[in-house]
Structure 1
Amino acid sequence: MAAAPARRLPHALVIPYPAQGHVIPLLELAHALVDRGFTVTFANSEFNHHRVVAAMKESSCNGGGGAALERIRLVAVPDGMAPGEDRNNLVRLTVLMAEHMAPRVEDLIRRSSSAAADEGGPITCMVADYNVGTWALDVAERTGIRSAAVWPASAAVLASILSIPRLIEDGVIDAQDGSALSQGTFQLSPDMPAMRTAHLAWNCIGKHDGQEALFRYIVGGVRAAAKCDFVLCNSFHGAERATFARFPSVVPIGPLLTGERRGKAVGHFWRPEGGACLSWLDAQPARSVVYVAFGSFTMFDARQFRELALGLERSGRPFLWVVRPDIVHGDVHDYPDGFLDRARGMVVAWSPQQSVLAHPAVACFVSHCGWNSTMEGVRNGVPFLAWPYFADQFVNQGYICDVWKVGLRAEADESGVVTKEQIASKVEELMSDESMRERVEAMKKVAHESISEGGSSYRNFDNFVEAMKKA
């Protein structure tokens, strides 16, 4: 009697938006799918694919084992931008990738129908970043596979996008390009953070000439996501209870354990200097270190960079400061004279942030309030000095400072600079506020309960996985 053919694993195509803050959580989700029996094809933009692979190789060569990828196949798709073109121009990047990536992704899915088992076999479902959903979810519909959209930021920001018709009707934003019709604030519900119209995601993504095109793209994404099987969010019920009550179709599965896959690729564009900074932290007293990191996009002018350095020095606290090679406009790190010799801290180009925030020596987090950083800080019980730069970060600051009350605002003076005096003062206040420490520890407990077996996010992810396994 002939043996029954081997049952093929479900095969998910995962597509992140081409920015590190999106690649990292989507790659973590890919690993989580592998843990639940999937094969995964991870389709990065060609430019970011090379950065992730290079960081993996560097990590592997330095003993980090970063090249290990079990049942995840990394593929590169051209994004339509020319070599050397500025990929921080997110509006141009977003518009071009819809034109150039969609046909190649569709071809990838169709060709997979004849793929051998060692290539994962046919792609059976798509898990796309909500921010590429405008075109990716249409591709899933045309090719007849199940689909899910992943919103890797706060549910509140997604709620503002889903509320665009209401915001237009109420005269909050312009119907043509989404621009602010007033400079005031509004709330979608009493228990959600207040939002400024100028800080809506499509209004503060940077200086650009494509406001209307970006807004239309976002509106198209809402229509596309309405047709997919799931809309998932990297958040947890206890963090955004009012938002999830108002938008029950958005399903929390977080906080995703971004950056916590030891020995496996986690999506960094730069190699974290893990061994050096963790060894340095080991030598510091408990709850003594100020951790400073501003993500992959934040840029400072030379004056603000120097004020930050002087503020850290003025605080008198040991600090671990992540200074990207390109964090200063003009790529010049203009430290104050003698700062690096006098400093009671360590400066690194990139860090293993999850491991750093989990370290008992870390006392507070000076952060740009990116959502991954926000969730990592909360999950590790670390209070914040909240210093947003653009996009969703202003709403996240509202959660941190006004709703959860687990951090303080970094407030700029009349010239737009956060001064050294302000930085040192706020750090000292954070260090001494025991009630804030208790609140963030309570949030940490709720976050861990949500992703533990039987928790709300754990159950939601289980339901999603079982549905996506169905033919």
Structure 2
Amino acid sequence: MGAEAIQPAVLLVPFPAQGHVTPMLHLARALAANGVAATVAVPDFIHRRIAPAGGRAGGTAHVDADGGVVLASIPSGILPPEEGAAADPPGFAAILHAMEHHMPAQLERMLLTTTTGCGGRVACLVVDVLASWAVPVAERCGVPAAGFWPAMLASYRAVAAIPELIGKGIISDSGTPVPSNQTYSDGQEQVIRGLRILPAQLELSTNELPWFVGDSATQKSRFAFWIQTLHRARGFRSVLINSFPGEAGSAVATAAAADDDDEGHLPRRGPRVLPVGPLLAGGNVVDRGKGDSVVVAATNNPPTPPQQPCRKNPSMWHADSTCIGWLDAQPAASVVYVSFGSWVGPIGHEKIRELALGLEATGRPFLWVLKNDPSWRAGLPGRYAERVASRSKLVEWAPQEDVLRHAAIGCYLTHCGWNSTVEAIHHGIRMLCYPVSGDQFINCAYITRVWEIGLKLGRVSQDGVRDCIERVMDGTEGTRLSEKMKELRERVVTAEARSLAQGNVKSFVNEIKTDYPLSM
């Protein structure tokens, strides 16, 4: 059989969270559409939640699905919940222990036994940068590894600049901000200046860097995690970024720029940076009833694969689809959609109470995704659901893509996770931002200060929530946000933008085929 008939095998390893698994599956589909045999390997506790019914779980058993991609299960050592017990995913500490101490041996076995239909071995391991535990495994097995960053390029560059931030005395060796005479408008600490990693108009504070999560001990632990991640990622030849080429304000937007050694750029001879997103499922045209139509370019249909691919948007959570029928009954552009994503910690009972009262005070219909857990719902005022039942709907989880494309949605109160941000842009929805942790602060800064397609909710109070919603939904400010959103959306979803991203995918696939010869 000729070499041109061989389909190289690529194994993709996401970090085990919904916001990482989803874009990795989309990337796998894009690779499959370009002649790659793509397998996404997830821990068993994720596999049990997203695999189609009847699929085989455990070990390296594959589950057939749709789009040319195979879903594989890696034993994690984390026991499934007992029958009748809560099926929530394990916490960060348990996941980290599984990734560092149990899953490497399982992945090594998978790398040494996974083959293409023609008998070739795995040609490349694509590793979520946050799943850097897989990099040493690839090195031991002699398999080249590439990185995947499921968020925007700006947040990748902020993390990659940690050595420079330390060297310039902006943060300490443990990641904490170094005291400065500068203050930020929100009362936070030093504004990061003198670096070219981010555009000046962001005025990003040191307290908005991605490792600032929880208390001081948690922050130091997360910073150590990032240091280890950077060390392991040094050997990546390429890093695929889930963002659009020419991301506004980024100093490095193309592969060629990665070789620039000017201050603030990625180090010379560092990984080749390839924007390949935003990685979304195909869409359609939605008329929002405001004179705007959202034109979403559908992805190319991949050739029929020998195995069935994974479902378009497998979710770890059971979505309440009744909210779509409820939206059908609402006027166009009238509904406030509220969701803090799948992996954000509770924001506190008092903030939930003020948020609830603020939503009620607007008199507008709203759809609120709120986990049915005391850590979230105990903050609701007494008999709240009954009080607002005539014009609101509270659900545990929603089919978000279907919600955001619905003509009834007028604005989105969001934690600013990158997937949620991209989906909102994709469907032309103005945003009210309340970042909680991680890269959400950088995303929020872009939304509010660079792209100007949303506002930041500063103080969570009844009056503050009500007033911000009114500003986003109505008046001259709302109109300005809509105009800015239209401009950005046209840049992101056009055929030209998609062509650039698809060109980078093809370049990466050609690199695999040329430089990563198959072991026959």
Is the structural similarity TM-score above 0.5?
A: yes
SS at match of 2:164: helix
Q: 2:126 aligns to what?
A: 127
Q: 2:66 aligns to what?
A: 69
SS at match of 2:108: helix
Indicate the percent of aligned positions where both proteins have the same amino acid.
34
Asked whether the 8 Å contact 1:14–1:41 carries over to 2, the reply is: yes
Asked whether the 8 Å contact 1:80–1:97 carries over to 2, the reply is: no
Of residues 367, 372, 377 in structure 1, which corresponds to 2:419?
372
Asked whether the 8 Å contact 2:370–2:376 carries over to 1, the reply is: no
Q: 1:166 aligns to what?
A: 164
**Deviation of 1:160 (Å):** 1.4
Q: C-alpha separation between the residues in 2 aligned to 1:220 and 1:379?
A: 34
Asked whether the 8 Å contact 1:156–1:240 carries over to 2, the reply is: no
Deviates more, 1:248-257 or 1:391-400: 248-257
Note the aligned Cα RMSD (angstroms).
3.0
**Deviation of 1:5 (Å):** 9.7
Residues 421 and 302 of structure 1: CA distance in aligned 2, closer, same or farther (over 3 Å):
same
Residues 338 and 397 of structure 1: CA distance in aligned 2, closer, same or farther (over 3 Å):
closer
**Deviation of 1:335 (Å):** 4.7
**Deviation of 1:25 (Å):** 0.9
Asked whether the 8 Å contact 1:24–1:258 carries over to 2, the reply is: no
Asked whether the 8 Å contact 1:30–1:42 carries over to 2, the reply is: yes
Q: Is the aligned partner of 1:10 residue 2:8?
A: yes
Q: C-alpha separation between the residues in 1 aligned to 2:45 and 2:233?
A: 26
Q: 1:195 aligns to what?
A: 204
Q: 2:110 aligns to what?
A: 108
Q: C-alpha separation between the residues in 2 aligned to 1:89 and 1:80?
A: 14
SS at match of 1:375: helix
Q: C-alpha separation between the residues in 2 aligned to 1:191 and 1:4?
A: 49
Q: C-alpha separation between the residues in 2 aligned to 1:211 and 1:317?
A: 38
Structure 2, unmatched stretches of 5+, are 55-62, 82-86, 180-188, 254-264, 284-298, 300-308
**Deviation of 1:121 (Å):** 5.9
Q: 1:41 aligns to what?
A: 39
Q: 2:135 aligns to what?
A: 137
Map 1:18-417; keep pairs closer than 5 Å: 18-53=16-51, 56-57=52-53, 68-81=65-78, 89-91=91-93, 93-112=95-114, 115=115, 117=117, 122-133=121-132, 135-175=133-173, 177-182=174-179, 183-187=189-193, 188-189=195-196, 191=199, 193-202=202-211, 204-207=212-215, 209=217, 212=220, 214-245=222-253, 246-247=265-266, 249-257=272-280, 264-274=311-321, 276-298=322-344, 299-326=346-373, 328-329=374-375, 332=378, 334-343=380-389, 344-412=391-459
Q: 1:61 aligns to what?
A: none
**Deviation of 1:355 (Å):** 2.2
Residues 278 and 339 of structure 1: CA distance in aligned 2, closer, same or farther (over 3 Å):
closer
SS at match of 2:229: helix
SS at match of 1:74: strand
Asked whether the 8 Å contact 2:13–2:128 carries over to 1, the reply is: yes
Aligned AA (1:36): N
Q: Alpha-carbon deviations, 1:412-464, whole Å to 9, x = none?
A: 2xxxxx1121111111110122111000111111111277553x222212211
Aligned AA (1:442): E
TM-score by length of 2: 0.78
Residues 383 and 284 of structure 1: CA distance in aligned 2, closer, same or farther (over 3 Å):
same
Asked whether the 8 Å contact 1:235–1:255 carries over to 2, the reply is: yes
**Deviation of 1:295 (Å):** 0.2
- For these two proteins, the number of residue pairs brought into alignment is 446
Q: C-alpha separation between the residues in 2 aligned to 1:94 and 1:313?
A: 40
Q: 1:465 aligns to what?
A: 509
Q: C-alpha separation between the residues in 2 aligned to 1:159 and 1:6?
A: 37
